[in-house]
Amino acid sequence: MSLFITFEGGEGSGKSSQARALYRRLNTLAIAALLTHEPGVTRLGKRLTRLLKWAKDTDISPAAELLLFNASRAQLIAEVVKPALAEGKIVVCDRYYDSTTAYQGYGRGLDMNAVKAANATGSLGLKPSLTILLDIPVEEGLARKKGSKDRFEQEDIAFHNRVREGYLKLAKDEPQRWLVIDSRQSKTKIAQIIWQRVTELIKKR
């Protein structure tokens, strides 16, 4: 049986580092796995990412943003994730629909029913087996990041705090699906905590 594992958290919380570490560990153990991320990966997703993250001369309203993320998601799920799951792989995805709930719902303040409906369409109804929330105070996460700032990194601290609180609420509302980790711990320690939970899931499947 396949597993779909997603990583969530604010800016610089360590999602990409931990998704990679988990994928490498699965590979080392010769467990069939696929590493992917949102938005992007597919041809459509890459084009939409350029707009969603880097558009300077294009206004994107909150509702348009909600739908563009979900357009990219629908393509990724159909083209990449579902086929890999059908082959019995463990799919590790860096961000998924909870990012949309946190950023466009809690961050931008869009109506939650609209967010849920768009996410249901964009995900083709696919729910993660496990979602890992890497939680870190907003300023510490942002301070970890180097290089140019995308549209989201340029938002103010209040926005990022709404995102963080939104994530924590999502995790609290659905504790079986979420594993919340204090991301101020070392990368090695975090990877250990994640691996412990993933091995439990692998044994059960």
Contacting range for ligand ATP; rule: CB under 6 A; set: 15-23, 64-72, 117-125, 159-167: 15-23
Looking only at the bridges linking them, the beta strands covering 130-135 and 178-182 are: parallel
Place of tokens 């499947």: 205
Q: Six-digit token pair at 127?
A: 């729910």
104 binds, among Mg ion, ligand ATP, none (CB under 5 to 8 A by kind): none
Count of chain residues binding ligand ATP (CB under 6 A)? 14
| Least gap, CB of 111 to Mg ion (angstroms) | 28
Q: 3-state DSSP call for residue 198? A: helix
Q: Is 43 in the site for ligand ATP (CB under 6 A)?
A: no
Contacting range for ligand ATP; rule: CB under 6 A; set: 25-33, 57-65, 103-111, 186-194: 186-194
Report the C-alpha gap between 157 and 190 in whole angstroms: 25
Strand partners, 135: 182
| Least gap, CB of 139 to ligand ATP (angstroms) | 13
Contacting range for ligand ATP; rule: CB under 6 A; set: 4-12, 40-48, 65-73, 165-173: 4-12
Cα–chain-centroid distance for residue 183? 15
65 binds, among Mg ion, ligand ATP, none (CB under 5 to 8 A by kind): none
Centre a 10 Å sphere on the Cβ of residue 21 and count the other Cβ atoms it contains: 18
